[in-house]
Amino acid sequence: MSIPQAPASEPLVEPGLEEPVVLLLTTFPDRQQAEAAARAWVEAGLAACIHIAPAGLSVYRWQGVTETQAEVAVTVKTILGRLEALTEVLQRDHPYELPEVLLVSPAGGSGVYMDWVRATCGATSRGEVP
């Protein structure tokens, strides 16, 4: 697969009227489950790219108890128009009772990269979704 390369001088752009590119942050208990979900989401057109970070340690409160668990962090690059379907699939199929679902809206970024995310998720740069 060939991902378009931005020219070295390409300025960063702010989102405008185009379909918004968003990042969904979540975690999985291990790399295998994260990779299986990532492949399914990309193949279904729900995400353009998913980054799975190496395992780290999460410390959190759950049902009144402080827990410690190894997890992998997952960053999903998608468009706002695919977010509802992606979140539905994530919550339905995720191994956790309460999976992390955090949405981050970039203040800007590479126009070529954001256009690639839109095209890969099935949207044109004008926000049209087939």
What pLDDT score does 128 carry? 36
Residue 10 belongs to some domain of the structure? no
Structural domain total, the chain: 1
The domain that holds 70 is classified in CATH as 3.30.70.120
Host domain of residue 31: 18-120
Residue 8 belongs to some domain of the structure? no
Q: What is the pTM of this model?
A: 0.83
Quick one: CA dihedral 79, 24, 45, 108, positive or negative? positive
Residue 61 belongs to some domain of the structure? yes
What pLDDT score does 130 carry? 30
| DSSP letter string, 54-74 | EEEEEEEEETTEEEEEEEEEE
Residue 116 belongs to some domain of the structure? yes
What pLDDT score does 129 carry? 34
Residue 125 belongs to some domain of the structure? no
What pLDDT score does 22 carry? 96
Residue 40 belongs to some domain of the structure? yes
Residue 3 belongs to some domain of the structure? no
Residue 1 belongs to some domain of the structure? no
- Residue 14 token pair: 């702010």
What pLDDT score does 18 carry? 82
What pLDDT score does 19 carry? 87
Q: Split the chain (130 residues) into runs of 10 and give each run's mean pLDDT.
A: 56 66 97 97 96 96 96 97 95 95 93 93 50
What pLDDT score does 126 carry? 38
